[in-house]
Structure 1
Amino acid sequence: MKSLIQKYNIPGPRYTSYPTVPYWDANTFSKEKWIHSFKKSFQESNEKEGISLYIHLPFCESLCTFCACHKHITKRHEVETPYIETLIKEWNLYVDLMTEIPVIKEIHLGGGTPTFFTAENLQYLINAIFNNATKHPDFEFSFEGHPNNTTKKQLQTLFDLGFTRVSFGIQDYNAKVQKAIHREQSFENVANVTNWAREIGYTSISHDLIFGLPFQTQESITNTIRKTKELLPDRISFYSYAHVPWVKGVGQRGFKEEDLPKNEEKRVLYELGKQLLSEIGYVEIGMDHFALPSDSLYKATETQTLHRNFMGYTSNKTQLMIGLGMSAISDSWYGFAQNVKTVKEYQTLVNNGEIPVFRGHILTEEDLVIRQHVLNIMCHFKTSWKQEKNTFKELDHSLELLKEIEIDNLLTINNSELHVKKDARPFVRNICMAFDVRLQRKKPQTKLFSMTI
């Protein structure tokens, strides 16, 4: 395994979308084409399965140096109201394009720090959205909370509005690691918010952990999992730290390169964490995710309904996801669109009555085929091209690229089907790269991606 890690640990996409953002085609994209794809998708899917909303709440009181999200650092809470008013205006711009009342199946409040906002402001936002929408019978609403500032009132308010899932960013419990990433929080704070959520009635509580952070050791990972066992959240996200300072700038240079665990050392941290999580009852789901058998993410794996989008893995699939807020990304299945990346520009455009999209991609027929293969591999660890509609022009070249991975006993290809072997999940991104014809046609000349392993 060690030699395979050294061999396959190369820069590569995380595949929360296909095509990946660096390969979006700006030349064929326009806001008009995005709106056309949005209308098409809404008409096809709203009544049948409903739609999803991702709402980006970008404000944070301090900068965490591991974070690759688009955020706005401020301690001035007077920014809350004007930002929420802008979100509501953007939502209404989309409602004006709809031919019927939207049926919302999924809402996720992401950040930044959603719990930067008061309970009253969060309630005002959600109520305003449902002035022009109804809930799907199988709705699932979730949000991200910071253990240091999530209050019982926020948890109760959002629960009363229909939120039953909450994700808390933990990362690591070691004091030296926390100081290096500027995310210092006590186990007591994490225990408080976890227990409050459970008492209130949340049915899925998730903790986000990261391996590969500066100063992490096998001892610190063991201690983090031991403390996780005390609280036993329903889900665990166990991410590889994506060190991309060339993208995110000084925020990810808050420590020295030599402070980061590398290659085999980093992989050992993952394997140790995975083993310890398994020992306390968690089942590996997709890539980087774990869940207790009672959780809906595990059940989605069993029923083959697991889905992956810009929010990661989800037990709910909708064809249309609208991203609201600064930098948010929307997905109509036929196209992607990203909002402008600063609060000021976002508010200016929306207040002028414009949908604040600044870039995107309209998927070709080839893109749609390959997107499904990537989703199949990422969610189910298998894919098939038995049917003509699942083939694409450069399939033979992709299969040629996969031969070496097959020789290394990481997958099997038989009868026009690919199956990823159970022990090969760390290499899933490498397997998807073989199908990524846009990446193969134009290899990056500069640093674009984090390491795959």
Structure 2
Amino acid sequence: MSTQEKSMEELVQKYNVAAPRYTSYPTVPFWDERTFSTEAWKDQVYRTFQQSKDKGLSLYIHLPFCESLCTYCGCNTRITKNHQVELPYITSLLKEWEMYLAVFNGEKPLLSEIHLGGGTPTFFQPENLKLLIEGILKHVNVAAESCFSFEAHPANTKTAHLQILFDLGFRRLSLGIQDFDPLVQFMINRHQSFEEVEEVMLNARKIGFDSINFDLIYGLPRQTIASVRDTIEKSMLLGPDRISFYSYAHVPWLKPGQRHYTEADLPKGTAKLALYNLGKRMILAKGYADIGMDHFAKKEDELYLAFQQERLHRNFMGYADRFSPLLIGIGVSSISDAWGGFAQNVKTVEEYHKLISSGVLPVVKGHILNREDLIIRRYILDMMCKGKVRLNPTSYLAEQIMEELSTLVQDGLVCIENDLIRCTATGRSFLRNICMAFDQRLLNLRSKTQLFSEAI
């Protein structure tokens, strides 16, 4: 073992601790619901809407239904083969959207983004997705440079799904691959062949989709160096524009489906990191650029251009090539972000329908950010999106942050020049750990309770 390899092994052993993914700050477990109410949330949405009309808003729509449970999944899902659930759910989604339109006092919002997530959006019949999107679009003005995207399961995505969504303005597609290895697919109950993925890719390209993402995961049960190499090689043959190659989050206390296998089946520590390092080397060797935590893009893709121009943004949908101060999430468990506040919807389909039918906005919890939250949020966003942070040296937070960073400096994960903090090349594998040094709410807790998955 070389000195460099030994050093990385030591870093992994030291920093493989429970850590947030920082799709928000404060992270959901630290939301203070004492300052939150539905009315306070509506006020925050309206203020942000008025202040950012020119930037437009983003809309996330959660479609929770799946025909089978992928056991690795950490999303809010409802497993059913009954497609009669589609139209009632769409009716509730459109009613919730009308509630937000009422918050805007009848002004037509400028729509910058739509993202369909899940669950499995392609569980829905193509004509029902058309009904949903047309119901959304008739109440908005669509931005000239809008971005519409959706997630899809390659095994059930039909050409009709692709064509109808393309005709409605969708140009980006994210395919959930995870791993091509049959044993790994069996362990996670996620089955799609290379041929099925290739067919969806060819059809999408033929129709005109200009940005296709692959979701790949390292750290899955029974995953090996050989299976990751094979998965990356097959992915490179298909040439997606973007790749999300992220760490499996093992949280069986939150997602009982993950008890389908045991921790003995999972690659851990340096073995797991070896999977990531192999995949990353192979991806970079094919000309993709590392643009953020576990995300890669071709150098002509808009996500890479946003990274180069320092306009990359991160929110509950992951990395985005634009910043919309107002993100509205509709549907079961969706999270909304009005920059100065967050809100999450109820998590069961039954309760969601009940509240919607009663004319009640279905938010169940949230957080209104205070002044300190807003400062820290910007610091963490800058580190996640730019790999650097410029501290305000006069802020009372600076001294504590510098103290927390001192060990990271010694370990070569960050470097500091006056008030500028930069992530090093080594540090890019430990971004979540670096951001923890800024996270005042986490630092104040100092709890041994595990709230998050491991960082590596």
Aligned-residue Cα RMSD (Å) equals 0.9
| Corresponding residue number in structure 1 for 2:4 | none
1:443 Cα offset (Å): 2.4
Q: How far 1:395 moved relative to its partner?
A: 2.5
> Does 2:276 align with 1:273?
no
Q: Describe the SS at the equivalent of 1:3.
A: helix
Q: Alignment partner for residue 334 of structure 1, among 333, 337, 340?
A: 340
Matched, 1:28 2:35: yes
Give yes or no for contact 2:392–2:398 (8 Å, CA) kept in 1.
no
Paired letter, 1:379 = C
Residue in structure 2 matched with residue 111 of structure 1 by the alignment = 118
What letter corresponds to residue 441 of structure 2 in structure 1? R
**How much has 1:381 moved relative to structure 2?**
0.4
Asked if 2 retains the 8 angstrom alpha-carbon contact of 1:322 and 1:329, the reply is yes
Quote the offset at 1:346 in angstroms. Answer: 0.4
- Structure 1 counterpart SS, 2:143: strand
SS class of match (1:96): helix
CA contact (8 A) 1:386 1:415 kept: no
Once residues 119 and 143 of structure 1 are traced to their aligned partners in structure 2, the CA distance between those partners, rounded to angstroms, is 13
Instruction: In structure 1, give the amino acid aligned to 2:211.
Output: S
Residue type of the alignment partner of 2:452? F
* Structure 1: gaps (5+ residues): none
Match in the other structure for 2:255: 248
Q: Is the 1:106–1:316 Cα contact (8 Å) retained in structure 2?
A: no
User: What residue identity is the alignment partner of 2:413?
Assistant: L
Partner Cα separation in structure 2 for residue 355 and residue 75 of structure 1: 28
In the aligned structure 1, how far is the partner of 2:393 from the partner of 2:151? Answer: 40
Instruction: Report the equivalent of 1:44.
Output: 51
CA distance in 2: counterparts of 1:449 and 1:443, whole angstroms: 14
Of the three residues 246, 249, 263, the one matched with 1:239 is 246
Query: What is aligned with 1:412?
Result: 415
Q: 1:82 aligns with which of 84, 88, 92?
A: 88
Report deviation, 1:444. Answer: 3.1
Q: Pairwise mapping of residues 11-410 of structure 1 onto structure 2 (< 5 A)?
A: 11-46=18-53, 48-99=54-105, 100-249=107-256, 251-386=257-392, 391=395, 393-410=396-413
Give me the TM-score of the superposition, normalised by structure 1. 0.98
1:435 to 420, 433, 438: 438
TM-score, with structure 2 as normaliser: 0.97
Identity of aligned residues (%): 53
SS at match of 2:355: helix
The amino acid across from 2:49 in the alignment is: F
The worse-fitting range, judged by mean Cα deviation, of 178-187 and 406-415 is: 406-415
Q: Which amino acid aligns with 2:401?
A: S
Alpha-carbon distance, 1:41 to partner: 0.3
Aligned residue pair count: 448
- Between the aligned partners of 2:236 and 2:32, the Cα distance in structure 1 is 45
CA distance in structure 2 between the aligned counterparts of 1:42 and 1:438, rounded to whole angstroms: 28
- Cα deviation 1:295-349 (Å, max 9, x = unaligned): 1111101111100000000102100000000000000000000000000100110
| Partner Cα distance (2:435, 2:267) in 1 | 25
Residues 364-391 of structure 1 show CA distances to partners (whole Å, capped at 9, x for unaligned) of: 0100000000000000000102475xx3
Deviations 1:188-215 (Å, cap 9, x if unpaired)?
Answer: 1000111111111101001100000011
Q: CA deviation at 1:394?
A: 3.2
Q: Distance in 1 between matches of 2:433 and 2:89?
A: 40
The whole-number CA distance in structure 2 between the counterparts of 1:184 and 1:440 is: 41
Q: Which moved more, 1:438-447 or 1:297-306?
A: 438-447
Query: Is this contact kept in 2: 1:331–1:337, CA < 8 A?
Result: yes
Following superposition, the deviation at residue 227 of structure 1 comes to 0.3
Measured in 1, the distance between the counterparts of 2:186 and 2:447 equals 34
Give the AA of the match of 1:146: H
What is the match of residue 3 of structure 2? none
Structure 2: where are the runs of 5+ without partners? 1-7
Shift of 1:446: 2.2
Question: In 1, Cα distance between the equivalents of 2:403 and 2:427?
Answer: 19
Structure 2 counterpart SS, 1:326 = coil
- Please say if residues 412 and 426 of structure 2, whose CA atoms lie closer than 8 Å, have aligned partners that are also in contact: no
Contact 1:374 1:435 (C-alpha < 8 Å) held by counterparts: yes
Q: CA deviation at 1:129?
A: 0.8
Q: Give the equivalent residue in structure 1 for 2:427.
A: 424
Structure 1 residue 29, shift from structure 2 partner: 1.0
Q: Which amino acid letter does the alignment assign opposite residue 61 of structure 2?
A: I
The 1:96–1:220 alpha-carbon spacing in structure 2 relative to 1, beyond 3 Å, is same
Is the contact made by 1:210 and 1:239 (CA closer than 8 Å) also made in structure 2?
A: yes
Contact 1:386-1:417 within 8 A present in 2 as well: no
- State the Cα distance separating 1:248 from its structure 2 match: 1.3
